[in-house]
């Protein structure tokens, strides 16, 4: 990015406009999740499976967490 020092840039892959459950993949709008967090500063949990909800991004260099909805290699 022009004018931004390298040490201030965070590389992400995915979509930062919504959040998803890490276990079942249920999608949540960020405003809904933000309200839950701001109310009591606790991690939002999925109302379907009680999994952890986070933005649908991953930082480069971090391993992908593959829950039930994660990618799987096709078995030969």
Among residues 23, 67, 20, the alpha carbon closest in space to that of 49 is found at 23
CB 51 within 8 A of CB 24: yes
Residues tagged active-site: 13
Element (H or E) spanning 12, and its range? strand 12-21
């Amino acid at each position: 990015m022009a004018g931004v020092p390298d040490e201030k840039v965070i590389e992400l892959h995915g979509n930062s406009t919504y959040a998803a459950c890490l276990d079942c993949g249920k999608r949540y709008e960020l405003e809904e999740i933000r309200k839950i967090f701001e109310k009591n500063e606790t991690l939002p949990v999925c109302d379907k499976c009680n999994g952890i909800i986070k933005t649908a991004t991953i930082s480069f260099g971090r391993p992908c967490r593959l829950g039930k909805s994660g990618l799987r290699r096709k078995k030969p």
